[in-house]
Structure 1
Amino acid sequence: MGKLFKKKSIEQLLEQSQNKSLVKTLGAFDLTLLGIGAVIGTGVLVLTGLVAANDAGPAVIFSFILASIVCGFAALCYAEFASTIPVSGSVYTYTYATIGEVVAHLMGWTLLSVYLLTMSAVANGWSSYFNNFLEGFGFSLPKELITIPANGGLVNLPAICITLLITWLLSRGTKESKKVNNFMVLVKLFIILLFIIVGAFYVKPSNWTPFMPYGIEGVVTGGAAVFFAFLGFDALSTSAEEVKNPQRNLPIGIISSLVICTIIYVAVCLVMTGVVSYKELNVPEAMAYVLHSVGQNAVAGVIAAGAVIGIMAVIFAYIYAATRILFSMSRDGLLPKAFAKTNEKTGVPTLSTWLVGIIGALISGFIDLKELANLANIGALLTFGMVGVSIIILRKTHPTLKRGFTMPFVPVLPILSVLSCLFLMINLPKTTWLYFSIWIVLGIFVYVGYSRKHSRLTSKEMKKAS
């Protein structure tokens, strides 16, 4: 049993943070934009309308605030960890240092599913905006090529194409691709600001009545659903080894991106549900739909064009994050070594990048958006809860460890974080729990069949014993 819970020493991890195979190119501004790029995407451009129509009505703003509070607790935990142990791998690395290898493996396995599914769901949503953009020029793709088989089509071809295009971009290197990402994020922020300013002139307060048509239960259900919209700030902690001055810059990037995104979500939801009745918002391209409904077709066209560019930043962030998780697990021997190999010219783990991109492309082309969102939610909630547990353990085991950022009110806030995550998990559908359980069982088989034998910690122990 002890072997299952063997831990990486903090000294080992800090030594790893000096890893030279990944190039340090990211500053606080890059991280904040990477975080905003990952968070602001399908959540604000797609899920806002769907959740308002089906779960919470105008009270969807409370759903977003509830989700942001839960994320805020987790963000503080992430900020302390990222500033203390600036190593790629996010919660996978943190649980490896505090709880043990088998839990770390399952957390890494879960993160892979979260990042892959989120990226695929985002690509799926991007396709609707892309087609809406084309329709502005009097051209549209055949329905069979933008619709998944379950909804009567053949394939969501644009989703596949955009995922592969961004995979290629990331394979060119972090330094080059971050410039493109920063541009995409700034475009996205521009169109959201444009929507808020133009839409505000058409708000009718009567559309906010009834404000909470589905009651408190609807707000909580909506909170569990829109939690997906906040996934992304945690992806920053996967970039730790590519960050300049991570002790300072990582906490700034994590906390600032979450605060900015929460303000944006609330503003967009107030305008959206104020311009049209929440009952009309059950559409994937809600922002463009709202503006079309008040005759602002030109602005709607600009928003559709900006969304096409802006949502690409989310796909970028998640392919990047999933690749770094693969890299970290592979470097530790829990997955095949080939995934940890970096290209000499670009410093990028090329095989990992293309594997993540191809799998994500196939998922986005053939699987339903709502199913993807819920599966990503349950995995993210579990990993966020585990970060809270890990912070409490780290404070007990390493009280004098140098911390760039210190989370306040430990253990109260981490415990609240864990309980909040559990509360939202309980409100997810039973089918989501079933699919997620299957993924976890598969992860256990991978650990028992491969990871346990090939773990670098195991091989070091065997060398010592001999």
Structure 2
Amino acid sequence: MSDEELAKDLGLLSAMTIGIGTMIGAGIFVLPGVAARAAGPVVVVSFVVGGVIAMVNALSISELGTAMPKAGGGYYFVNRALGPLFGSIAGLGDWMGLAFASAFYSIGFGQYLATLLPVPGAFILTDIQVGALIAGAAFVLVNYVGAKETGGIQTIIVSALLLILTLFAIQGWLSFDFATLAGDGGLAPMGYGAILPGTALVFVSFLGYAKIATVAEELKNPGRNLPIAIIGSVALVTVLYAILVSIMLGVVPWPDLSQSAPLTQATRAAFPGGWSGIAVTVVTAGALLATASSANASILASARINFAMGRDRIVTDWLNEIHPQFATPYRSILVTGGLIIAFIVALGQNLEILSKAASVLHLVVYALMNAALIVFRETDDPDYDPDFTVPLYPITPIVGMVLSLGLLAFVGTRELALSAVFVVGSVVWYFAYARNHTTSEGLLSGYIRGRSDELPPPVVDAAESVAPNGSGESEPPSTVMVALSNPRTEQALVTVASALAAAKDARVLATHVIQVPDQTSLAAAAERREQIASESETLLEDARGHAESFGVPVETRTILSHQGVSEVFDAAREHEVDAVIMGYGGARLGGGRAEGALAGNPPCDVLVLNERQFDPSKVLLPTAGGYSSDLSAEVARALRDRLDSEVAVLYVADSDEGTSQGRSFVGQWADEHGLDDAELLVETGDVEEAIERAAADRTLVLIGATEEGLLSRVVRGSLSLSVLEDLDTSVLLTERPKARSLRERFFGR
């Protein structure tokens, strides 16, 4: 059975609502009463301080997320930079922290549900715990069926929630009384020293922004959308907290504010007469939406952290299984759901333990993520290329570490000890299991071990002692990816891919992207899953057998998605492939124009085959020395060496006077590109007509994609596409990515 992958189905709005929905649920509906009782009216400042700490960390997380949008978020960054020991701490800590948070949000849901409906208790469980179990089970199910459906529900919930809170803020401001806010003891009856303990209590309200990074692998255009979603959600929610908590404390005196349903109480006090009952019902319904959305978003994020750890063999790879219908890591979601239910049952009668345990574990992870950013920068990792960079480096990540770890001093001893148990347990798990299974070595360890002569021996010994047992293995081979969709063209595409992979000493990754029309939901398409799976498996098994005949390693993957060629390129980025080979579909290629796909900014070398009775025995390579013709030469050498193809190199001169100069050029070009045994041809006249004449007795034409600008392509058309479409011979169009300025994109070189 071929492997399957997560499709990129989350947009900017869905990503922002994952963050906003998580934060609003805890900050407004659950904690204000408890926090006000601990700090007094100055708790408003506690929320703002929490927002400042979150914003500093959000800047670092945005840089990390745009550099490497991977499922798992903080875990992935820490594991990649600091190594699998710290990756185990970050992954298991973040996973458990999110499970605690999900249980906390579910308890909040149960609190408000109990004020709206009579919910019976069961056995040793209170009515609140029963309501929490209902919420937890429902949102585990929602996440089980897929991220796109989750994002859609989250958007609806958050939109309704913001409307309800806006109405409360307007009416609450009309009823606001500063004397009520200040009370008899002033703004800080317990002293301003209560601000930071209050921040430690309410920091669970700010966990949502980092959840966006955990679904970055499923996010469309993460380079743009990720920092906007993370930073924007923190800024919006911090302002919202300050306004709404101030209004609540200006409507109900802080000693009297409810610890179970504070916003319901404030609404009853703010709305006059007959409107009070209606408003309370609406706000209670909003509280249910808010706490449910928080639990929903946390379950989504925690399951994908577990998925990422399974992929890296920090935990068992059994968790890696992708659901054939919903394309989600369903086993990971079910395991996470089981933990959440256990926490609700065991700790559901003590909300403070759940909230503080979640905060402490996340603060440790945030500190490690800031350290990871510094390691990425200082080790000059060539794969680290963020679209967003933190301001004032290295001050920003250092401040993020100090603030995150410093806040731990104001968390209770009991919660700190509970979290320490999980950290120690993570270290034990690493040495007992993960170290013997994972093969990835962090950049920091590699940096230290590579400079053993320069660094103190204890530092080098420490790096050696925690290195994974498989860290000395060689780097994985490079990858040539072939995108398949049609059994008729499968053999031709795999032949080219296998020849190129053999020449590169690379592997072949055969990928089948099953494209579903936008008008058809993934759930509806999944009704044909058995037929789809059968067709896909047959196609990929044929590809596997054909590639193995070349003696190259082969992997296969199937992706169910609404996207076409863009999903192919997303998969190419994910697997860091060297080249993608795909078939040509006429005027349109995988849902987008071929010209746009190839003349834009592909992530790697791209080859597009327009196959007409594919026969690579006699290859024609027209060239004028363009950038992509280097790739054409590389392919020609692979076909010559692996398939005994006869290669001819063609140059088209402007006129008869340029023939001699053309012969000199084409001879030198062929020698420089390892094609000194090729037949050399020089034609004159119209380029397209000359290529057509030379191709008359050839079986395959290799031609580099155009470097013409957009305007010239619009006015005159593209030579490469004309050749691709008009010749009777099979044509392989090659495109090698190269940075171009805006002027070059419009007007050419």
Query: Same-fold call, TM > 0.5?
Result: yes
CA positional deviation for 1:282 = 4.0
Higher helix share: 1
User: What residue number does 2:135 align with?
Assistant: 162
Higher strand share: 2
Which residue identity lines up with residue 404 of structure 1 in the other structure? D
1:132 maps onto 2:108 in alignment: no
Which of 81, 84, 88 does residue 101 from structure 1 map onto?
A: 84
1:226 maps onto 2:210 in alignment: no
User: What residue number does 1:137 align with?
Assistant: none
Which residue identity lines up with residue 141 of structure 1 in the other structure? V
Distance of 1:148 and 1:121 partners within structure 2: 18
CA positional deviation for 1:77 = 0.2
User: What residue number does 1:374 align with?
Assistant: 356
- Aligned ranges for residues 76-225 of structure 1 at < 5 Å? 76-134=59-117, 140-142=118-120, 144-145=121-122, 153=126, 156-209=129-182, 210-225=186-201
Distance of 1:317 and 1:435 partners within structure 2: 24
Closer, same or farther in 2 for the Cα pair 1:409/1:218, shift >3 Å? same
Query: Larger Cα Rg: Structure 1 or Structure 2?
Result: 2
1:300 maps onto 2:295 in alignment: no
User: What residue number does 2:365 align with?
Assistant: 383
Does the CA-based 8 Å contact 2:435-2:469 persist in structure 1?
A: no
Which of 1, 15, 22 does residue 38 from structure 1 map onto?
A: 22
Which residue identity lines up with residue 157 of structure 2 in the other structure? M
Structure of greater relative contact order (alpha carbons < 8 Å, 6+ residues apart)? 1
CA deviations over 1:230-282 (Å, ceiling 9, x no partner): 01110111101101111111111101111111111011111000001000114
Closer, same or farther in 2 for the Cα pair 1:76/1:148, shift >3 Å? farther
User: What residue number does 2:374 align with?
Assistant: 392
User: What residue number does 1:332 align with?
Assistant: 312
Distance of 2:473 and 2:90 partners within structure 1: 27
Which residue identity lines up with residue 410 of structure 1 in the other structure? Y
- Aligned ranges for residues 343-358 of structure 1 at < 5 Å? 343-358=323-338
Does the CA-based 8 Å contact 1:167-1:316 persist in structure 2?
A: yes
Does the CA-based 8 Å contact 1:188-1:311 persist in structure 2?
A: no
Distance of 1:66 and 1:72 partners within structure 2: 10
Which residue identity lines up with residue 44 of structure 1 in the other structure? I
Does the CA-based 8 Å contact 2:180-2:251 persist in structure 1?
A: yes
Distance of 1:278 and 1:293 partners within structure 2: 13
Distance of 1:52 and 1:42 partners within structure 2: 14
CA positional deviation for 1:399 = 7.1
CA deviations over 1:175-219 (Å, ceiling 9, x no partner): 222211111111211221122112112111101221111112111
User: What residue number does 2:417 align with?
Assistant: 434
CA deviations over 1:412-451 (Å, ceiling 9, x no partner): 1111111111221111111112111111222222212211
CA deviations over 1:25-54 (Å, ceiling 9, x no partner): 11212111111112110221110121012x
Does the CA-based 8 Å contact 2:322-2:328 persist in structure 1?
A: yes
Distance of 2:381 and 2:395 partners within structure 1: 16
Which of 421, 430, 441 does residue 447 from structure 1 map onto?
A: 430
Distance of 1:85 and 1:117 partners within structure 2: 27
Closer, same or farther in 2 for the Cα pair 1:255/1:148, shift >3 Å? farther
Distance of 1:155 and 1:196 partners within structure 2: 27
Which of 210, 214, 222 does residue 238 from structure 1 map onto?
A: 214
Does the CA-based 8 Å contact 2:110-2:128 persist in structure 1?
A: no
CA deviations over 1:363-402 (Å, ceiling 9, x no partner): 1233121001111111111111111111122111127742
Does the CA-based 8 Å contact 2:110-2:127 persist in structure 1?
A: no
Larger deviation, residues 391-400 vs 404-413: 391-400
Does the CA-based 8 Å contact 1:381-1:425 persist in structure 2?
A: yes
Closer, same or farther in 2 for the Cα pair 1:218/1:186, shift >3 Å? same
Gaps of at least 5 residues in structure 1 are 1-18, 135-139
1:273 maps onto 2:255 in alignment: no
Does the CA-based 8 Å contact 2:211-2:301 persist in structure 1?
A: yes
Larger deviation, residues 260-269 vs 362-371: 362-371
Closer, same or farther in 2 for the Cα pair 1:76/1:451, shift >3 Å? same
Which residue identity lines up with residue 246 of structure 2 in the other structure? L
Normalization by structure 2: what TM-score?
A: 0.56
User: What residue number does 1:56 align with?
Assistant: 39
* Secondary structure in structure 2 of the residue aligned to 1:370: helix
Gaps of at least 5 residues in structure 2 are 441-467, 476-749
Normalization by structure 1: what TM-score?
A: 0.90
Larger deviation, residues 172-181 vs 273-282: 172-181
Does the CA-based 8 Å contact 1:148-1:156 persist in structure 2?
A: no
Which residue identity lines up with residue 326 of structure 1 in the other structure? N
Aligned residues: 436
User: What residue number does 1:422 align with?
Assistant: 405
1:25 maps onto 2:9 in alignment: yes
Distance of 2:95 and 2:381 partners within structure 1: 31
* Secondary structure in structure 1 of the residue aligned to 2:386: coil
Which of 344, 359, 362 does residue 342 from structure 2 map onto?
A: 362
Distance of 2:269 and 2:306 partners within structure 1: 44
Larger deviation, residues 255-264 vs 287-296: 287-296
